[in-house]
Every structure is written in C-alpha cells, then in structure tokens.
Structure 1
C-alpha cells in the first residue's frame, strides 16, 4: 500500500481525492492546506488528518508520494520540499510559470531519485487517447491540420481569485490553453514555429488562438480562453484532418468539468466510406492518470506520460504563444 499526501484542498484536490478513493493499492493518509476555511471543509468531507505545515506532515506521517494540487506559483517550492524528503511527486499542470522553475523541479527530483509526473490529463482522457491511437494506426492517413479548442466562462472558484492573476497562474494561456498545446504536441511531435493572437485582461492573456508549425509539416490551430459570457458551457474538442480522413469530437459540459462523465460522440470520416462512430471507454481520466502514477511507483519505472520533458515543451509553447501575441510576430521555438 502506497501512502499519499494530498497538497491542497480546492476544486482539483477534491477531484483527485475522489479518484484516489477508487485506486487499489493507494491511500491518502493526510492533506496539507494553509487556508483554514478550505481545510475545514475538506476535513469534514474526507475525515483526513490536516496539516498547515508540510514539514510537520512529513515528520508525523509515513508518506511515499505527494499529489500537488496547489496554485501554480507554488509548484516549484513544494516539489523541492517533497523531493528533498525523497517523496515521489505528482504535480498538477502546468508544471510551473517559467522554464527556470520547471527545469529546477526536474533537476531536484532527478538528483534525489524520485519521480516527477505532471498532470496533463488529456493523455489519459478517453477521446484524446483514442484519437492518438487512430492517428498512429493510419486511420486518417498522414495528419495535415489539427484544430483543438477549450473555452469556458471566467473561473470563480479560486481562493482570493488567484487563478485570475497572471503572476500567480499565468492566465488562461498557461492554465487552460496548455492542455491542448500538450495534446497537439503529443500528436504532432516537437513544435518549430508559433504565431498567436489573443486578448488580455489587464496583464492576463485570457483568450488566445495559437497557430503552430511542426517539423513534419503538420499545422495546428489551437484556441483557448475563459472569457465566455453568461451560462456558456465548458466546451472543448478537436478536429484532425488527414490525407485520407477526419476525426472530430466536441464536448460540452457544465460551468467547469463537473459533467465530464457524460458522453459525446467521436466520429471518424474516411474518403469513400460512411461516417463511423468510434467507441471510447468511459473511464475517469483523473483516476486513470493517478493510477498510472501509482503503477510507476510500484514498478519503480519512470513515467512515460506526463513527463517533465513533455510538460516543459508544453510550457515552452505556451510562453512562445504569449510572446507572439505581445510582439505581434512569429516565434521560433529554438530561440526560447
């Protein structure tokens, strides 16, 4: 039985906690949270020992790994604290706000012999996984053009609205848009060139359209933002055009991702054939990614999904897109 310390008590921490409850071989033994209101609510719901000091948690609890569900600006600090205590680290995306912090997180985990996995959950989300499998199998021929999107209303759930402050979250371009940047990287390989346009609110890039050119000739147009109005539902999806076919999926949920268990059809279109509905397993992607992390620990095998290298590449792309919006020019990834 691997013992987990959950860091954070907000929305995504609750999502992770529900997932951990359904993973055999793991047990959340305690949680860390400095906000007393959040801590009280979380403790009442899950009846876990609470700590507002991570060092005290480590001194009083036997822990194999930490699950970091803290605001992005805290990722480096708490990854370093955990790694120095020889704890494996699962950390929510994005890995960090800067490449400097991301590389530091990678290094401290390597130096202390612990795994670092970043929660790029689309690598475990049924429709995205199936799309990659189909593309790899040649179901649509050679990929040519990828469209991906993720749109929501402005999030209101964060304590003191930290997620709306660019210096704490990176804005929608890092917190939301990065999901699809990582997904397209997963499909198309290493990005070479970026051109983006977007909308700022104060200093926060909260809606962006990013065009990416890949070395294999694939072009991607990726849109993301949280400036939608009214009761606009959380909406995401993709369209992948290949030389012999098209994959298309669109998902509309609640305000956030509460209704992620509902199904939306994934369609495959091929030249000369009728549209095909692709079957996708209905699994909770958050449970899938955490179960994968646990298996890596149990087998002492470094994660191959959500790696620091993959997370750093997604962050590099997000930062390049922001730079392109600000400068009004294309950005070559090799220059960052």
Structure 2
C-alpha cells in the first residue's frame, strides 16, 4: 500500500498519513457515529501548521490530534489556523475549544452564519427545524421519539458554538502551509459548505461535499435551505467544471479522482429521482410513504429497519427528491390537513 492510501476498513486508524507533499491526513474519533472518524488535514509549513477542519470537541479527539501532530514534530501551540468546511459539530467544535486555550484563528464560510447563529441560541432544541417539519411530511410519530433523545442531549452539551474569527468569502483564495487554496462554495450538505481546492498541486479538501463511499446528507442544518438537492447537484457541477484533483474527504479514504466520484454521485441521485417518481406512480403520496418504498444504505435496508434518527434523515432526503421532481415538472404537490402529498404531474 503506497503512502497516503487507506482501505475502506483501515482509513480511521489513528495517526498522520502523508497524502500530498506537506499534507497529512489525521483521522479523529467520533463518539457514536457509523462514520467512525472525521479526517482533519494538517498542512505544514516553515511557520507552523494549518488544519482543514478540526474534529469534535471531545477529550479523545484532542488526545489523538496531539499524538498525530507530535509525530510531525508539532504541538497544538504550533497550529495557526483552522479552515473549516462547514459548521457541523464534528468539523467545527474542537476548533472553538482549542481557540479558547491557544488563540489560533478559526475561519468559516460566510453562508454558514445563519445556521451558526441559530445554533448559538441558548433555548434551541437540537434538530429543532427538522422535528418541526416532520408532521407535515407524514412522519409526526417520529417527533416524540427523537425529541426525547435530543432533550437528553441538551443536558450534557457544552455551549461551544461561537462565531469564527474570519468569514471566508466564496471565490477568494487563502494561504495555508505554503499553498494557495481556492475557497469554492458548495452548498447542499449545508448552505455555507465550502471546499478548498489547490489547483497547483491538484488536491481537493472536500469536507462532506464529496465523500468516497457514501452519499452525504443534504440540508442537514439548523436553518433549512428551500432547495438543498438542487443546490447540491449544482455544487457537484461546479466541482466537476474545475480541474480534477486528489480527493481528500472528511470521512473515508483518499481517492485518486474527485471528478470520478462526482460522476458517481450525480448518477446516484439521477437514479434516486427515478425511483422516487416511480414510488409515487405506484401510489405512495406522502414523503414518509415514499421513503417506506425506497431502500436505504448500501445494504438496501427498509425504512422500518433504521433507527429513528436515520428514519428522519431518510424522510427528509426523500422530501428533497420529491421537491426537485416538482421543480422539474415531473410531479405536483398539494397539502391536506397540514400534510404534503405528491402525485404525478
């Protein structure tokens, strides 16, 4: 196995693996996530270290990061800046926690501001927007199950949502580790998601926008986008229009071609749109009903076999596909008793 590569099984093994000259992939643990780990990328230069993404603010994630940086001859005081792809907990919160102690800068895409400010609201229930929407999608029964889970989460969650030092503007260039990185807007997973593209060295720090083995969730944020799937597909086209690059994802092993994976993701969603339309043609009407016809994960599982949290994600993703089909003129929508229904146009 060559330097910088990892199989789908061992990519989460702790350590620092060089994936490009001066760039090391550092997987940090997640507490209870099937993704196993999140990749943080260390860009080393003569003046210190810049990190792309930061990991979840957990003691074992901090320890793992400290050990990996030590292997590169650095410590946390050498970190100058965090460049964060989006404002999810596993990408942003450790940066905030470490900034309190060491004072490094934290930079985030400007279009994440609304969701971050919503997360900072002290009385906000986690996933509040998603829970509020579920009854209108025919999945109101999930609210009680998930609401209790998230209320328990509030009791133990430290308030670690704070504003960044810098708001990254789309279309600009930032310097990190002696490299010039283009800040490319890629809304879809979240509205303010950005990727960092080094065109000189042909490297793409892709965050959760392009993942090598799974399809990222869309519209997974406190302030919901009106068209997350359309945004995501447009963002894929934007990445595809740029020079190809080594794919450095936030979850999973490094892949040789960002373009190749983009093509797979576009094909997947095209197929999913067809399957969603077919479910409506067969008589399903609400997003919950359609999600129950579709199959989920690479194991082709039924909706009822998923835990309540992933059932919620499945219903929300199905809704995004249904709404895009309406925008394309393939379906029409109506509301009865507060519930959205879809039918063939």
When normalised by structure 1's length, the TM-score is: 0.30
When normalised by structure 2's length, the TM-score is: 0.30
For CA contacts below 8 A with separation 6 or more, give which structure has more relative contact order: 1
